[in-house]
């Protein structure tokens, strides 16, 4: 494939990060990449930004600094930040019930489910177990009504079970009920536009030509032993929009799956969370709320993912799997295919990796892991 021109790596890497640039080139030389970008922010400063490869499947369009990548579940890190900002402003409390802002959610035995339980995948709503028209995913109100009426698949609060798609509607509806705006609009108005972040929840019209084409994997991820929760979350024909909705779904502000961003934008955002909340001289989240949002809510064998997981308030925590380097306080999120974004307050480091050749790892794709390992070795 002509993308071996990919070794014309764009961006910059200071000499101390030469091993990171080497690791980035290795992924291309080994045929693991089509196009990709990796960015690091240390103490509020962009200290590394690399991109290479092709933004299309034919190798005709070069990946450049304006290329947007679909980031799938890495979007959940943005959603967690937006909920944290409501808490920071005193407009929401993690410990209050979802039903206190969204009364319909009390149906089906969910009256006592708290906000922090819902956004840390403890509500028992990982997907719809019964046959459902996949077109429902482009009808926000219909999804929210179905989730509000649904009985949990396990006792809420007793365990986590990853909600790959549904948590975005739950989080977004909590946000809308409190703030009045959709979560994507609020992110754009309050953070994205003011700070020039090239990141979006739902793709605005006119940006389609900037989005990298995906090269889908030729195998499913390894989900381990399938149970009812895993099946509802991932394995039914209606577990996601799955291409049936096309451009309509791309525009949907679903903050679990439907983000589009550059690695630089995500790294700057997570770099702020690693740097006491400071982004370009403004505090986007207080240090106290960063600590509160990123502390562990539940830990143990997840009922959907084949991992022992530690969940914060919408963020994945780095222990016990350590997919983002050695930091015990590091938090962030990974996305289907390999993308990720993370913040390590202990060393004030934020980073992000995006790509368009999707792997099958549910978490801890080898490509970002080798980049992050090289970055920590260079600090």
Q: What is the pLDDT of residues 309-320, one digit of tens each?
A: 999 999 999 999
Q: What is the pLDDT of residue 6?
A: 42
d(CA 327, CA 317): 10
**Nearby residues of 312 by Cβ (< 8 Å), 6 or more positions away:** 80, 120, 293, 294, 295, 296, 297, 331
pLDDT at 324 over 70: yes
d(CA 77, CA 96): 21
> Span 272-282, mean pLDDT?
98
367 belongs to a structural domain: yes
105 belongs to a structural domain: yes
281 belongs to a structural domain: no
67 belongs to a structural domain: yes
The alpha carbon of residue 198 and the mean position of all alpha carbons in its chain are separated, in whole angstroms, by: 15
pLDDT at 245 over 90: no
249 belongs to a structural domain: yes
Angle at 80 (CA atoms; ends 37, 297), nearest 5 degrees: 120
172, 314 Cβ separation under 8 angstroms:
no
Kindly report the number of other CB atoms within 10 A of residue 148's CB atom.
21
CATH number for the domain harbouring residue 49 = 3.40.710.10
Q: What is the pLDDT of residues 47-80, one digit of tens each?
A: 999 999 999 999 999 999 999 999 999 999 999 9
Count: domains in the chain: 1
The upper half-sphere exposure of residue 379, i.e. CA atoms within 13 Å in the direction of its Cβ, equals: 18
> Span 113-126, mean pLDDT?
98
365 belongs to a structural domain: yes
Q: The pTM is what? A: 0.97
Burial class (CB in 10 A: 0-12, 13-18, 19+), 151: exposed
| Structural domain harbouring 136 | 2-271+287-378
56 belongs to a structural domain: yes
pLDDT at 45 over 90: yes
Q: What is the pLDDT of residue 247?
A: 76
* Long-range CB contact pairs, 237-241, < 8 A, 24+: 237/134, 238/128, 238/131, 238/132, 238/133, 238/134, 238/136, 239/127, 239/128, 239/164, 239/165, 240/134, 240/137, 240/164, 240/165, 241/134, 241/135, 241/137, 241/138
Q: What is the pLDDT of residue 161?
A: 98
Q: What is the pLDDT of residue 4?
A: 43
Q: What percent of the chain has pLDDT over 90?
A: 93
d(CA 359, CA 364): 10
> Span 135-163, mean pLDDT?
97
282 belongs to a structural domain: no
Q: What is the pLDDT of residue 3?
A: 39
Q: What percent of the chain has pLDDT over 70?
A: 97
What one-character-per-residue DSSP string does 223-287 give? --S--HHHIIIIISTTSS-TTSSTHHHHHS--TTT-EEE-HHHHHHHHHHHTTTTEETTEESS-H
Q: What is the pLDDT of residue 178?
A: 98
Q: What is the pLDDT of residue 351?
A: 98
Q: What is the pLDDT of residues 329-347, one digit of tens each?
A: 999 999 999 999 999 999 9
156-165, 215-224, 319-328: range with lowest mean pLDDT: 215-224
Average pLDDT in the chain: 95
311, 121 Cβ separation under 8 angstroms:
yes
């Amino acid at each position: 494939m002509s993308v071996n021109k990919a070794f014309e790596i764009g961006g910059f890497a200071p000499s101390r990060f030469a091993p990171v640039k080497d690791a980035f080139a290795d992924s291309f030389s080994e045929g693991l990449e089509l196009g990709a970008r990796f960015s690091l922010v240390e103490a509020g400063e962009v200290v590394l930004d690399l991109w290479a490869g092709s933004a299309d499947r034919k190798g005709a369009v070069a990946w450049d600094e304006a290329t947007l990548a679909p980031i799938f579940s890495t979007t959940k890190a943005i959603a967690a930040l937006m909920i944290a900002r409501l808490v920071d402003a005193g407009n929401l409390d993690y410990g209050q019930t979802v039903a206190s802002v969204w009364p319909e959610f009390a149906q089906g035995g969910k009256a006592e489910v708290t906000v922090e339980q819902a956004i840390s995948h403890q509500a028992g709503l990982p997907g719809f177990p019964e046959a459902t028209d996949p077109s429902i995913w482009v009808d926000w109100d219909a999804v929210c009504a179905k989730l509000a009426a649904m009985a949990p698949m396990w006792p809420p609060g007793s365990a986590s079970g990853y909600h790959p798609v549904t948590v975005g509607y739950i989080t977004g509806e909590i946000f809308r009920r409190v703030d009045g705006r959709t979560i994507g609009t609020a992110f754009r108005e309050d953070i994205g536009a003011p700070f020039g972040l090239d990141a979006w929840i739902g793709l605005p019209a006119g940006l389609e030509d900037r989005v990298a084409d995906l090269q889908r994997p030729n195998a499913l991820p390894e989900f381990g032993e399938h149970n009812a929760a895993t099946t509802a979350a991932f394995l039914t024909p209606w577990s996601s929009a799955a291409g049936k909705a096309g451009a309509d779904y791309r525009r949907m502000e679903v903050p679990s799956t439907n983000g589009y961003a550059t690695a630089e934008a995500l790294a700057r955002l997570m770099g702020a969370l690693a740097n006491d909340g400071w982004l370009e001289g403004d505090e986007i989240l207080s240090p106290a709320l960063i600590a509160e949002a990123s502390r562990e809510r539940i830990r143990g064998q997840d009922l959907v993912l084949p991992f022992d997981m530690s969940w914060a308030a919408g963020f994945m925590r780095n222990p016990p799997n350590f997919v983002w380097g050695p930091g015990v306080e590091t938090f962030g999120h990974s996305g289907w295919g390999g993308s990720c974004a993370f913040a390590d307050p202990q060393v004030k480091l934020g980073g992000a990796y995006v790509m368009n050749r999707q792997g099958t790892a549910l978490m801890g794709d080898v490509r970002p892991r080798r980049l992050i390992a090289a970055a920590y070795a260079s600090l």
